[in-house]
Structure 1
Amino acid sequence: MTVGTAFKSWFRRTGSEILGWILTVAGVILIPAPGPGTLVLVAGISLLSRNYVWAQKLLGPLERRAIEAAKFGVATWPRIFLSFLGGVWLVGLGVVWWISPEIPEFSILSVGFGPELPAHGWGTAIGLWTSAIAAWGLLAYSVVRWHEPRGPRTKAHSNA
């Protein structure tokens, strides 16, 4: 048995399970944070679905809901345009978090903020930019896969 074959065999069971659990936990943590938390969570659950029935049962409804949401999101050109603008917004926020301008000091529920942005710096900026790229990629895929163009518009001709 070669090293490559042994590694593939190990990854099919153990490695994919370890990676699945890491992605699932990271996805749960990332859902409220800026970044592609939901995508990471679904990726982890899909890896775990190879070995666990509960993950298979969870993945089916997630997949159906994701397809329904994608079809709804690309049903009209204004929705597609607004989704694209959402990615532009994420890029802009990434630039702001990268630059990290000073903000006024304030507190919410006795938690102080300022003069720096919370979680400022390159890490958050890269997370936001990664989210924008993922969103645009999924938007492009959804448009190609599920956008139903309207039929050709015919003009009424008058013979008068």
Structure 2
Amino acid sequence: MFRRSGAALKRIGLEVLGWGLVVLGLAALVLPGPGLLLLLLGLLVLSQQYAWAQRWVEPVKRRALRTADDAVSTWPRLALSVLSVLVVAGVGVLWGIRPPAPGWWPVDDRFWLFGGWATGGTVLGSAVLALVLLVWSWWRHRRHGPVARV
């Protein structure tokens, strides 16, 4: 009986983890963050349970590698990618130190950069992760060449 309940708990845990990563990945496609990577990780987890998720793993993986390759394929793109990471890190620091609300801010001052370092740290974490992925992409691109277009 305990084995069945342990297997059920494992399955539920994997479901929650997989769907959570998919939802975060979809959100990060439009927000700052590694959207395709999170989506791929979620699909990898869900592919242990679902055939439909397994079918999506390879196309999302190809798209993620192609996107990573595009970001470092030329020096101007690499410079723009690094600049973007620095801007995101700067936003994280700004959010953490919470300067006073500017005069143009239309709502109550308490809603200006709410969250403090908790939110700023999350944004900084995204910037660090983006930098790590950028370095990995650059290393992979230089070592293996461009990803083939299919």
Distance 1:37 1:70, change over 3 A: closer
- The equivalent residue for 1:104 is 103
**121, 125, 128: which one pairs with 2:120?**
125
Distance 1:37 1:145, change over 3 A: closer
**1:9, distance to aligned residue in structure 2 (A):** 9.7
Residue pairs, 1:1-150, within 5 angstroms: 11=10, 13-29=11-27, 31-102=29-100, 103-107=102-106, 112=107, 114=109, 116-147=111-142
**1:23, distance to aligned residue in structure 2 (A):** 2.3
* Cα distance per residue 1:103-122 (max 9 Å; x no partner): 22444xxxx46465244411
| Higher helix proportion (structure 1 or 2) | 2
* Cα distance per residue 1:121-160 (max 9 Å; x no partner): 112211211111111111111111113699xxxxxxxxxx
Q: Cα RMSD (Å) of the superposition?
A: 3.1
- Work out which of the two has the higher radius of gyration on C-alpha atoms and give 1 or 2: 1
In 2, are the aligned partners of 1:20 and 1:43 still within 8 Å (CA)? yes
TM-score by length of 1: 0.69
How many residues are paired up? 141
Q: What's the % identity of the aligned pairs?
A: 36
* Cα distance per residue 1:5-41 (max 9 Å; x no partner): x979964x44322211222234445554554455433
* Cα distance per residue 1:50-92 (max 9 Å; x no partner): 2112212222221111111122221122222221121111111
Secondary structure of 1:147's counterpart equals: helix
* Structure 1, gaps ≥5 residues long: 1-5, 151-160
